[in-house]
Structure formats: C-alpha cells, structure tokens
Amino acid sequence: MNIAVMGTGMVGSAIAGRLVGLGHSVMLGSRAPGADKAKAVANATGASVGSHAEAAAHGEWIVNALPGEQSIPLLKSCDLDGKILIDIGNYDIAVDQPIVAPLGQAIQQAFPSVRLVKTLNSVSAHLMVDPAHLGAEHTVFIASNDADAKAQVTELLKTFGWRRILDLGDLKHCRAMEQLIPLWMSLEAAFGHPNFNLAVVTGDKV
C-alpha cells in the first residue's frame, strides 16, 4: 500500500521505517524535503520524501506524526478527501495544560471527509512499531467514528506486533487518550527512560 507519513522526527522516522520494512511504499511529508535532515531520514528509513502535499498525493493512507499545534495548518495543503488518516499526534501543551479540543477531534472537524483513526499517541516511538521489545504484554488504545477504518487500522497494528488493542469507541475518547500525556511524562521522569507502557488488566464484573 502507498502510505504518507507526515513528519520526519523520531515518531515519523520510526513509523516510516517499519512500514517500509513491511513492504509498503512510503513517502515522508516534510516542510523542507530538500534539507539534509529530511534526506537523511529518507535514506535511513528507505522511504522517499516530499512536501506534505506531495506525500498526501502519494498516500492511500496518511499517518499524522506532526506536533499537534502544527497538524491542521500543515495538513491544509493536502488532499485528504476520503482517505484513512491515522492520528498519532499530541499537543505539546498537553504536558502541563488542559486540552480545549482534542487533536483527533479537531482534525476530524477540520477535514470532515477524512476517515480518522486515533491510536499510538501514548506509546514510545520504538514501542509503536515493535511492541515486543518491551518483553511483556501491554496495551494500545484506538478510537474512531468510522468502524471500517478502525478495523483496517487494527489489522495494520497487528502487523506491527500489537496483540492487546483496546477499542475505546468513537472519537470522543480522544480526550482521554491525549490526556494520558502528563502521566507518560511523569513515568518517563520516574524511570529515567521511555521503555515502558500501560497494560490494562480486567477481572470479573463487580
């Protein structure tokens, strides 16, 4: 499948490299596709690189790995009509400020025809694409208003190695997912590294 990955940072690089390794044709979207950084990421991942608009034109699916505050302005240059968009972004301000409008919902509102699926936003970049690296079972959350798109993205997550994929329902759950970021930052500070995730454990109904 042709997939666009918006963003050439740590998260975008990890996602792009994994997708290429799985046999997908990936184009990275960059604000400066001719810059040394973008070229280096493309070379390291095996992806091609272009502008955000060029990447969107290449992709049947779009992965938003941009910082939350930049996502909607940069995506406005792209043709996203009817495409599945996997939003793994977070607002930088979510670390220590309340979220007014969750990013996933804001993107869906800005681009009504997009089939948005929120997932992977509360997991370290290396675990997003290789959950087995942790050596223990752990959970990834997913939410969408589009049941078919969510099912398709769930299958993609399984190819990454995810086994515990918890469907929270529709996009109103973006708020809960994105508000995990302060907890994630606190845990990283406590452990001194990002090699951790949450595992949801359930028992019999009370």
Under DSSP, the state recorded for 134 is G
pLDDT class of 178 with cuts at 50, 70, 90: very high
Encoded tokens for 132: 């087995």
Separation CA 157–CA 93 (nearest Å): 27
pLDDT class of 94 with cuts at 50, 70, 90: confident
pTM: 0.95
Report pLDDT digits (tens) over 135-175: 999 999 999 999 999 999 999 999 999 999 999 999 999 99
